Amino acid sequence: MTHDYLPISRQDMEKRGWEQCDFVYVTGDAYVDHPSFGTAIISRLLEAHGYKVGIIAQPDWKNKESIQSLGRPRLGFLVSAGNMDSMVNHYSVSKKRRREDAYTPGGVMGKRPDYAVVVYCNLIRSVYKDVPIIAGGIEASLRRLAHYDYWFNRLKRSILLDSQADLISYGMGEHSIVEIADALNSGLDVKDITFIDGTVYKTRQLESVYDYKLLPDYKELVSDKKRYAESFFVQYSNTDPFSGKRLVEPYEGKVFVVQNPPSKPLSQQEMDDVYALSYMRSYHPSYEAFGGVPAIREIKFSLISNRGCFGACSFCALTFHQGRIIQARSHESLLREAETLTKEPDFKGYIHDVGGPTANFRFPACEKQLTKGACPSKQCLFPEPCRNLRADHSDYVALLKKLRSIPKVKKVFIRSGIRFDYLLADTSRKFLKELCEYHVSGQLKVAPEHVSDAVLARMGKPKNAVYRRFVKEYNEMNTRLGKEQYLVPYLMSSHPGSTMKEAVELAEYLRDLGYMPEQVQDFYPTPSTISTCMYYTGYDCRTMEKVYVPVNPHEKAMQRALIQYRDPKNYDLVVEALRIAGRTDLIGFDKKCLVRPSGRRRKENGANTGAKPAVSKKKKPIRNIHKKKGR
């Protein structure tokens, strides 16, 4: 097997002695041959199974010739928008065009189309009428059935129909893509590949489909938001590979989109094998002249130790994509990769992260999940930790100790985020001690998201009292260790369930801390999350309760401004919000007030409370915002 980048041109194919690729992978990202990129994983996995794979990265979607650069593949085209949904990649929550694309050489914006999967697949189909097309990646995975599209503000059909693809490989795809490849290689027609877990196909009749749940017709979903909420919850409840049922979504009874049950999770050996494939571990050399691909900076010296998440935050799509069952690599696999990192010429001694969707999840929430799957009607951590939860950090602590002991490694950071409620569920505080002593770079970022228990319940997050308890223990541990290290909380505005009352409650909390966050995430309705379903329908699909949803852009701006109420630019919005909430008592000169009366306010930042900004312009360290009033 040649250890080099996969072919991106005819010349590359000739160097390998290839006349034809088995598969051509079309991606909206630049070609980065690193296991943090789905394109690299799927392509290298197929290569390891004996298939010839070529890459067409960021083709000119306005030019049919761009899709023909590697010729007609023997078995099919694989299509992905890249590591992000193309619309999230292109637009902020305010629907403004972003300035940089981290997955493009030089960070240049505009090298991929909106709705990239649909555009690429239709481009391929316009040239190759009968070549199988398999769509995958995050964009296809989360749009596999009818879904709310925030940018068009309407319900859209399954991406399978709009793209003219033959199959969707949803989820992480390692199992399903090899099965698809083997089926095609055996001579099976793509229309007959209807039996593979982790795939979605379309059919005009249901005689051959068995043991399925019938979802409402798309026409009914469009006309009745409540029906869509009910249908979405059926989808959400069938994302487990052990208990998930086959789902059928009709389209006016003329065509049926069939979602097979999810693929089984990878075993530890399979995870190790995936990350041991022959990656070049960088972007293609042809991008060097453009300044490289910015996204590599964040992951080049990081280790992916796990997949999946049983945290089940309502605004996160991980349940739909990676599932709730944790899959983890062995210590030996991670240590081998870490030693490889130390041999890189630009390695400075720092491993930037050891984690995944949630860093401190290293095994399934309970033993039952390995044979029976995750509970379809219960969550592992919400609203309280399940009594069967196995909260144990000993394996993670042992792994971190081994990584720290590798020659040339100066420090190992944890930056991919921890679940503080899971940390607290572990009766031992050994991990908290290790975290504070060795793995915090002065600041630990955590995600309480809000302080109102009413909003937190809609988010699927623990009550605010749990976060306060974590803050107390984190501060006590740092004091015991003689360290001055801080917490930086991530907060979200305008999430479904947040009225102006809850937004003011959050502002008061920040006032009492003397803290104004520099960054605030306004809720972003991305495809296939419970929160997005709430945003579109006004119902919490778990309970079918009506939910207040701030959808007006001006109201959303007011809720966001309240979090950063000390910024003079937000003054008018804050005053308006306080009047709407009936909280004009917070406009005045008392120390509890958020802003001064009009005409008497000071212009400088932080004038309302006398508190300094969280970070100065010189980027001095954040002071410990949680040490006021015994926090």
Strands 23-27 and 76-80 come out as parallel
Q: Where are the alpha helices (DSSP H) in 91-173?
A: 116-127, 137-142, 159-163
For residue 25, the number of C-alpha atoms closer than 13 Å in the C-beta half-sphere is 34
Q: Cβ–Cβ contacts within 10 Å for residue 529, how many?
A: 24
* Residue 366 assigned as binding residue: no
According to DSSP, the residues that pair with 546 across neighbouring strands are 539
The one-letter amino acid code at 27 reads T
Peptide bond into 385 cis (omega under 30): no
Decide: 135 and 165 in contact? Cβ < 8 Å: yes
Tokens standing for residue 205? 């009749």
Under DSSP, the state recorded for 426 is S
* Angstrom distance (rounded) from CA 158 to CA 203: 13
Task: Give residue for tokens 């239709």.
Answer: 122
According to DSSP, the residues that pair with 246 across neighbouring strands are 212
* Residue 309 assigned as binding residue: yes
H or E element that contains 23 = strand 23-27
3-state secondary structure of 57: strand
Cα radius of gyration (the chain)? 25
Tokens standing for residue 153? 């503000």
* Angstrom distance (rounded) from CA 144 to CA 358: 25
According to DSSP, the residues that pair with 614 across neighbouring strands are none
* Angstrom distance (rounded) from CA 613 to CA 222: 46
Tokens standing for residue 232? 């979405």
Q: Distance between terminal CA atoms of the chain? A: 58
Strands 411-412 and 167-169 come out as unpaired
H or E element that contains 350 = strand 350-351
Distances (CA, A) of 224 to 217, 221, 244, 291, 312: 11, 5, 25, 50, 26
Q: Cβ–Cβ contacts within 10 Å for residue 496, how many?
A: 27
According to DSSP, the residues that pair with 327 across neighbouring strands are 307
* Angstrom distance (rounded) from CA 105 to CA 292: 5
* Residue 541 assigned as binding residue: no
Peptide bond into 383 cis (omega under 30): yes
Tokens standing for residue 14? 């000739």
Please tell me the total number of residues recorded for the chain in this structure: 631
* Angstrom distance (rounded) from CA 213 to CA 216: 10
- The binding site consists of 309, 313, 316
- The binding site for [4Fe-4S] cluster consists of 309, 313, 316
